Structure 1
Amino acid sequence: MTFLARIAKASIAATAICALVACSGPEVATADQDFGPRTAEISDPDPEPIAASPEPSLPVTVRSFDGVDVTITDTSRIVAADQYGTLTTTVYALGLGDNLVGRDTSASFPAVADVTDVTPTGHSLSAEGILALDPTVVLTDTSIGPRAVQDQLRAAGIAVVYFDPTRSLDGVADQIEAVAAALGVPEQGDRLAERTTSEIAAARALAPTDGEPLKIAFLYMRGPAIKMLAGPGSGADALIEALGATDAGTASGVSEQFVAITSEALIAAAPDVILMMTGGLESIGGISGLEQVPGIAQTPAGRSERVVDMADGVVLSFGPNTGKVLDALARAVYDPAQ
């Protein structure tokens, strides 16, 4: 079933439920209401396991994203590492959190705080550090590396499975099902994908359907040296579209996933709302530092300080918490009572 078909099915179900109970979404703001800076937070950052310690059906052979057929015989010691924390989140949501022995830095939710971080310097893997964990399977993708480390792990006899590194709304359910298949719990994968799709559909329904859509710009910043405006294919554009808004970067003519911020680009984008990672906003000195970026003050969002930030390892992870992420963003963007 395609993602759009899943969403359509979930939306019908959500509509039927809302006909029976009082569904509460955010009150849509009027033009004269003042929002100011906000942090979007999900109520519980820990993914909810779809099952309690399911028994994997092993062995299983899957086609790794790099084209190699990999046989998994043991999932008792799992290392999950990608740039976004998606794989660790998915393993936990499948009910196999107790099997995790290694995770990446972006997987920072409380339930895995005691699991060894295999990328403590950022996004670089250490073969020695991972081998010391004696993993039975490593879940990864090309967003993290170096590739020589993953090859070394495979050469050491460890089952290394690559997944699609693309993070998008369309790929959420497929990614969940792919991870579940590799871990021998396909039934749990189907259930988790269905639940996540339903949560996404419910969150999308929070966006207003009348009036001119807001223009939201996603800015990626890391200190004074890295300041980027997102465009098509960044992942942020899918979130913004799901919020019933227009991606300001794409609408202004940006043709790449990320481009360096210039005052001209920001003024042309003219966002009503600026969306950022919390760590990125903090790295430039918060709202006061953002206001010093050339062009920000000339945008509607800059003039009103309508800035929404969300935790770095959450906002673009596109995993089982995606519905919760969209729900929190919708409330931060639209609800004047927040």
Structure 2
Amino acid sequence: MRRLLGLAAVLAVAGCGGVTSTAATTAPAALTLSGPATAKVAGQDVTPVGKVEPRLPVTVRSFDGEQVTVTDVDRIVAVDLYGTLGEVVFTLGLGDNVVGRDSSTGFPSAAHVPVVTAGGHDLNAEAILDLDPTVVLTDTSIGPPEVPQQLRAAGVPVVFFDPTRTLEGVPDQIRAVARTLGVEEAGEALVARVDGEIASARELAPTGEDAPRITFLYVRGSAGVYLMAGPGSGADSMIASVGGVDVGTDIGLDKPFVPITSEALLTAQPEVVIVLTKGLESVGGVDGLLKIPGLAQTPAGQHRRIVDVDDTDLLSFGPRVGQTITALATVLYQS
């Protein structure tokens, strides 16, 4: 992920105040996970709400402050860092209209759609214009920033959306995309469905004081990137949704991602580590991950409680977020 890779170069090592943890090495009573596991989302593909008939034209206020009029949604390009916008468009029932996507929009229905993000997560103006799009949906999580301006200069309507990814923000994100594409009724139907799935998923997580201590580590071995999540990472919201304590936030990290240090891990004493599947593969699996200084001495490391989640699922906060929460809760408490 381009933004996360860049964080490795600019973030300072988080201080942890030299606190010595006395956390037990056994699991909380509710935690049944006993070793490595993969949290698999049941619905690997999207399920559209049904056939839709867009009502156009519409004029919306883009997240960058511009007023944008959309008159045609026959050829949609949807691109952001996590694949959220593409997932929303497909689930709203307009998947057949998508002619360009980012590399994170990885569910089966989108596999045939051309990728317009060169090098993984960089927009390519020429590749997008070659697709003759009638509207481009994007946000500031992906760049370079001059590309959307080039598209607007060429006469293509470009609508920016809020780049923040939180569980609470999912309904508003769906509504914003639906409004832009002239399918507000479908948007409300999708919000109702997603809200129901989130509520059902959260019921799987136990409540009480004995919450498991969980951390999300973003690792890319080939690039030498090893980051620990903190407040605002998105992972903190997912951890809370499954009844866990985000240890990065708990020990006082003040940035979404900071370089991993042995001091931080030993202070945090996570009982579970969540990683992205490709990230885990990049460091040589669980054994490679446990070579990170300090991790093997934590309860998570001692018991090899490493949970990997597909790269396109964990932080997208799209329409399948309830299914992702269900997958995590199932692994943690019903394995």
Whether 1:295 aligns to 2:294 is yes
CA distance in 2, matches of 1:211, 1:175: 32
TM-score, scaled relative to structure 1: 0.89
Contact 2:31 2:332 in 1 (8 A): no
Give the equivalent residue in structure 1 for 2:15. none
TM-score, scaled relative to structure 2: 0.90
Higher relative CO (CA 8 A, sep ≥ 6), structure 1 or 2? 2
Contact 2:30 2:206 in 1 (8 A): no
| Structure 2 alignment gaps of length 5 or more | 1-26
Give the equivalent residue in structure 2 for 1:164. 162
Give the equivalent residue in structure 2 for 1:63. 61
Give the equivalent residue in structure 1 for 2:328. 329
Give the equivalent residue in structure 2 for 1:209. 207
Give the equivalent residue in structure 2 for 1:190. 188
Give the equivalent residue in structure 1 for 2:23. none
Give the equivalent residue in structure 1 for 2:242. 243
Shift of 1:51: 1.3
What is the letter of the counterpart of residue 152 of structure 2?
Answer: R
- Describe the shift of the 1:34–1:73 C-alpha distance in structure 2 as closer, same or farther (beyond 3 A): closer
Give the equivalent residue in structure 1 for 2:176. 178
Contact 2:39 2:308 in 1 (8 A): yes
- Describe the shift of the 1:220–1:85 C-alpha distance in structure 2 as closer, same or farther (beyond 3 A): same
Q: For 2:195, what is the secondary structure of its paired residue? A: helix
Shift of 1:45: 1.4
Shift of 1:333: 1.4
What is the letter of the counterpart of residue 170 of structure 1?
Answer: E
Give the equivalent residue in structure 2 for 1:152. 150
Shift of 1:120: 4.0
Give the equivalent residue in structure 1 for 2:130. 132
Q: For 1:240, what is the secondary structure of its paired residue? A: helix
Q: For 2:136, what is the secondary structure of its paired residue? A: strand
CA distance in 2, matches of 1:172, 1:33: 29
Render the CA deviation track for 1:268-311: whole Å, top value 9, x for unaligned.
11001001111111111110101111001110000000011101
Give the equivalent residue in structure 2 for 1:285. 284
CA distance in 2, matches of 1:74, 1:29: 54
Give the equivalent residue in structure 1 for 2:251. 252
What is the letter of the counterpart of residue 183 of structure 2?
Answer: V
Matches within 5 A, 1:311-326: 311-326=310-325
Aligned length: 308
Q: For 2:117, what is the secondary structure of its paired residue? A: coil
Give the equivalent residue in structure 2 for 1:77. 75
Q: For 2:178, what is the secondary structure of its paired residue? A: helix
Shift of 1:43: 1.6
Give the equivalent residue in structure 2 for 1:21. none
| Structure 1 alignment gaps of length 5 or more | 1-27
What is the letter of the counterpart of residue 266 of structure 1?
Answer: L
Give the equivalent residue in structure 2 for 1:219. 217
Contact 2:266 2:294 in 1 (8 A): yes
Give the equivalent residue in structure 2 for 1:115. 113
CA distance in 2, matches of 1:235, 1:155: 33
Contact 1:34 1:304 in 2 (8 A): no
CA distance in 1, matches of 2:165, 2:30: 33
Shift of 1:210: 3.8
Q: For 1:122, what is the secondary structure of its paired residue? A: coil
- Describe the shift of the 1:264–1:131 C-alpha distance in structure 2 as closer, same or farther (beyond 3 A): same
CA distance in 1, matches of 2:30, 2:102: 42
Give the equivalent residue in structure 2 for 1:51. 50
Spell out structure 1 runs of 4+ moving beyond 2 A. 28-34
Shift of 1:194: 1.3
- Describe the shift of the 1:34–1:124 C-alpha distance in structure 2 as closer, same or farther (beyond 3 A): closer
Q: For 2:228, what is the secondary structure of its paired residue? A: strand
CA distance in 1, matches of 2:243, 2:32: 19
Shift of 1:200: 0.6
CA distance in 2, matches of 1:87, 1:68: 19
CA RMSD of aligned residues (A): 1.5
Contact 2:75 2:132 in 1 (8 A): yes
CA distance in 2, matches of 1:34, 1:246: 16
